[in-house]
Amino acid sequence: MPELPEVEVVRAGLERALIGATVSAAEVFDGRSLKRHVSIAELSSGRVAAGHGKTLDPQTQQLRANDFVQRLTGATFLTPARRGKFMWIPLQPPEDRHQQAAGTAGGQPVQALLAHLAMSGQLLLRTPTAPEDKHVRIRLWVSTPAGEQLRLDFADQRRFGSLAIDSLIPTSDGKPAGWGTSDPLLPQQAAHIARDLLDPHCDFAQVAKTLKTKQTAIKKILLDQQLLSGVGNIYADEALWESQLHPETPAARIALSKLEMLLHNAAGVMAKALAEGGTSFDELYVNTAGEAGYFARSLQAYGRSGEACLRCGTTLTSSQAIGRTSHFCPHCQRKR
């Protein structure tokens, strides 16, 4: 699935094209892609249908689709932001834009378009006449400040991803919410997500101290988005290989200095992946132009089980011990 570097590549692509763009129309082809969206009618009645990972009934799908289209049409996109694997675009409603033109508007945005790509979600920028993308679930028609017309396709083969309009709430520490924004506001549905390792406000020393209190396997902890966000299976394996740590080692058994080194290695690996456009193994991850990333050619551990370790020459192996496939060197990363 897309991890931090891949989501950041998409965010940057949207930033270059969509700041100040206005949504002229929206189409929902598959209401299941609005599993995280909650309609105003649901909020008013206090009866919010379960939608996280569950199939919404057709009536709720249609209710949410109508609400999504109505609330998004006419809104203007501000600067896209990201925390971990969650990405959002703050929205300026039409009435605020008209007030601003008259010199009466002010304050910060209160809602955002929230996107979670999950396993196979894609946000693709196209010209209006471009060929149809596969598996399009939601489509937005936008007009840029320069007058260019664009099509933003949310495609998702496996339907685990979603779009939603969500309320923005203050960050718990009063600092900017994430990468790409200076506002201390983040979507309510992302409030439980920890800062990621590329966030300039992430405190590596404090995160290491928190990890040190855990008896859980270090690989499993790296994947816990409430402790640190953005790291998935690929970059966890890479960071552990760089740090010469076995994925099943309990975090509490690792020296504090070693844990902090691990975090810096994870950040370094993701920064390198970001520079190469992310990691693509198949057509499920592409950037906003539909292009693949090239970091797969630089992987040291992930997906290389049965091949020689590039550090010591030992044959790499894999394990399912913590419920996820881990790739590691049995010599360099001995289980102690």
Buried/exposed code over 123-161 (b: 16+ C-beta within 10 A; e: otherwise): bbbbeeeeeebebbbbbbbbbeeeeeebbbbbbbbebbb
How far apart, in whole angstroms, are the C-alpha atoms of residue 275 and residue 5?
9
Beta carbons of 10 and 87 less than 8 angstroms apart: yes
Q: Which of 2, 5, 90, 247 is catalytic?
A: 2
What type of residue sits at position 87? M
Active-site residue, from 82, 85, 195, 220: 85
- Tokens at 320, concatenated: 């399912």
Contacts of 266 (CB under 8 A, 6+ apart): 197, 222, 231, 235, 236, 238, 239
Task: Name which of 29, 10, 7 is nearest 18 in CA terms.
Answer: 10
- Helices 256-275, 233-243: crossing angle, 10 deg rounding: 130
Q: Looking at 3, 8, 238, 242, which residue is catalytic?
A: 3
CB-based burial, 75-96: b 16+ in 10 Å, e otherwise: bbbbbbbbbbbbbbbbbbbeeb
Instruction: Find the catalytic residue in 93, 311, 324, 330.
Output: 324
Question: SS3 helix, strand, coil % of the chain, rounded to 5?
Answer: 30, 20, 45
- Do 223 and 232 form a contact (C-beta atoms < 8 A)? yes
Give catalytic status of residue 324 as yes or no. Answer: yes
At residue 234, the 3 state secondary structure works out as: helix
Backbone angles phi, psi at 166, to 5 degrees: -130, 155
Residue 5 is a catalytic residue: no
User: 301: part of which helix (H) or strand (E)?
Assistant: none
2 is catalytic: yes
If 0-12 CB within 10 Å is exposed, 13-18 middle and 19+ buried, where does residue 221 land? buried
Q: Which residue numbers are catalytic?
A: 2-3, 85, 324
